[in-house]
Structure 1
């Protein structure tokens, strides 16, 4: 299908400015020309509106399909599949044409999208999260027998419990064999897990290094869930490439992130969403208390990271029902960053995390024809992108989806 969009102000990501340089022409899923007059099967008159590349969310969890964690323990694969497919469709309709999934088995969802059985964004995934016993990703509930040996590993659809460098190495190789684009480990406590303190340090330098070595051998990287300053510094000093969240970062750990050329992906909208929806969804008091702590630290973490020269990506980490608040991240980040900084995180940094520089996050010949049309100028009012009616049209690979 040949798509032609006329009379649009196109975001030039390199200049971070809007330009009026003629029609955009897309064919076979890619932008083929800018400024050439042409005809197509689908022709759109943007009437002076703004044309952006498709949004990219670098931290989603389709497998975490509901905030009701008791349901996550009970659902069948059929129930998961139905809800995950709906979440993927809604994500695409909000303008997110590419996402990076940070943990959980989404192989079936990816296959369904590629086969045309379901609508959804392009997904780059970590596969099952790697965690220590009692770590943030140890999701099994109820009493468990004492392991028969130190090498024993357990798994769910969400993660693999692996203790010790050898077990971590085995789990990493398993994920990479199964098609993970990168690896995800947990090196600190988390909000959604009631048993581990937020400030707890998880995994050891040797365990982290084992995962990072396996990722490096496959020409990819390790992402680490990390809140505390100690865990952030330990992670990057042992080879981790991306710090997910980072709310409790301090200047020392931020300098370590910058020194090692690592990237931090803040996810601030999820804490606001959990604060608003958590009580309604039956969140335990311990979870709500931890959420309050990271919510309060969120904007300050951006300032600390930016002052140290840390490169920031753009993510949300929203779970299940709260994913509807995905574009709210723009407004929250605008309290501490300029629109250009926020858009650069999404359109310049995020494509690198997906290994797709020049292919997504830009509207230039050869790039995917992932396109958003809006009446909002995000360089003047980026928070307004979160409004319900902010997006007029969405195209993925040149095909209209909303």
Structure 2
């Protein structure tokens, strides 16, 4: 058993939207055991830390990452041998953790094995909610084959660097969804529209028939989970919502009527603005193909307007970054972009309480309360006033705790004089 006491913290309560000073937090094993003022050290306390002047908040959650996307050209990443694909994912995962993201939802590529390695402490990584391979129709956003290829059955489901698998037809998408769920996917990702980084599909394309989309949703529901859908346009978003998906990824081209439909259905949206900024500024130099570069501004220039409208209408939005290759280092800059549009508090909620709700972990992740998982950040400053303390590569974090264990700790401890609580 491990016991840590964190004293005199400025506790950031994101449910209330308030900073509460002078709070003590007791962590026992992987859970928060108690919160209050003047708490007595439990018998067996390992260490006590004085957080006076520092902010204590829940670990951040990124709801849209691709941890195996080690190259901005996804077609090249898809061809990597599995061993190399895994090895190249390790610094990506470590970087996320040390930026304060203690949980991430992988939107295609990351699998059960990586999630288990993170859980077992074999690698430095956030808690991973993997989708396995996203499902894409032939010629859809997950099909990285060139037009010149002979389109034989795709072997894309066998390589970890490939974020998707190509599958068509109601029976086959059912089988593919069951396969990914059996392999450990915690939710299913479906490509419901065209995309930027795939070679052949214009942004305005839709992905899958309604029968195929509904079959995928049915299979996820049978496993007591849900579907997340890549979708940009009003038509693609509307079809996905009507099919029963739970989260819309990106949504840059959404219009007000469709946004109202999203809200009425209780569907979440996970915008991902930073990736389009980076693809625009860095993509060509990092190897993004010309056919993809030509599509970036189709979604980038309207993304901020979409977030402003969704916020105004009260649509629930989670935090997502969706970065690729060397651009992963810009992950926390999504926080700054969001703050400029919706303010600090709603931005922080998108990466904590709302994100936990998306992951179906409300009350156990994204909060600091008794019984919650002890994913905690000790921050040099107040994120409600300056989001910059959470950007960069974690320089503003004095400590990062995941599952009750410090993965970064610059704090000075004193040994507890144990007293009976």
Is the pair's TM-score, using the shorter chain for normalization, greater than 0.5? yes
3-state secondary structure, aligned to 1:118: coil
Give the distance between the partners of 1:250 and 1:368, measured in 2 at CA. 38
Give the distance between the partners of 2:337 and 2:388, measured in 1 at CA. 8
1:398 correspondence with 2:408? no
Q: 2:87 aligns with which of 82, 91, 97?
A: 82
Give the distance between the partners of 2:120 and 2:13, measured in 1 at CA. 32
Give the distance between the partners of 1:114 and 1:144, measured in 2 at CA. 40
TM-score using structure 2 length: 0.90
Q: 1:378 aligns with which of 383, 386, 403?
A: 383
Change (3 A) 1:145 1:287: closer
Aligned to 1:6: 7
Say what the alpha-carbon RMSD is for the aligned residues. 1.8
Change (3 A) 1:243 1:73: closer
Aligned to 1:38: 41
Is 2:111–2:184's contact at 8 Å kept on the other side of the alignment? no
Give the distance between the partners of 1:274 and 1:391, measured in 2 at CA. 28
Change (3 A) 1:233 1:4: same
Give the distance between the partners of 2:86 and 2:401, measured in 1 at CA. 24
Give the distance between the partners of 1:73 and 1:240, measured in 2 at CA. 26
Is 2:73–2:197's contact at 8 Å kept on the other side of the alignment? no
Give the distance between the partners of 1:331 and 1:20, measured in 2 at CA. 25
Aligned to 1:302: 307
TM-score using structure 1 length: 0.94
Give the distance between the partners of 2:179 and 2:74, measured in 1 at CA. 26
1:123 correspondence with 2:131? no
* Deviation (angstroms), 1:85: 1.5
Q: 1:206 aligns with which of 203, 211, 229?
A: 211
Aligned to 1:25: 26
Is 1:339–1:382's contact at 8 Å kept on the other side of the alignment? yes
- Structure 1 unaligned spans of 5+: none
Aligned to 2:415: none
1:325-340 equivalences in 2 (<5 Å): 325-340=330-345
Measured against aligned partners, the alpha-carbon deviations of 1:314-362 in whole angstroms (never above 9, x if no partner) come to: 1111112111111101110112102111122222211122121111101
* Deviation (angstroms), 1:66: 2.0
1:109 correspondence with 2:114? yes
* Deviation (angstroms), 1:143: 4.4
Give the distance between the partners of 1:344 and 1:22, measured in 2 at CA. 21
Q: 2:60 aligns with which of 55, 61, 74?
A: 55
3-state secondary structure, aligned to 2:351: helix
Aligned to 2:103: 98
Higher mean C-alpha displacement, 153-162 vs 259-268:
153-162
Q: How many residues align?
A: 398
Q: 1:250 aligns with which of 225, 250, 255?
A: 255
Q: 2:371 aligns with which of 362, 366, 375?
A: 366
Measured against aligned partners, the alpha-carbon deviations of 1:52-100 in whole angstroms (never above 9, x if no partner) come to: 1001101111121222445414422221121111211111111111111
Is 1:60–1:315's contact at 8 Å kept on the other side of the alignment? yes
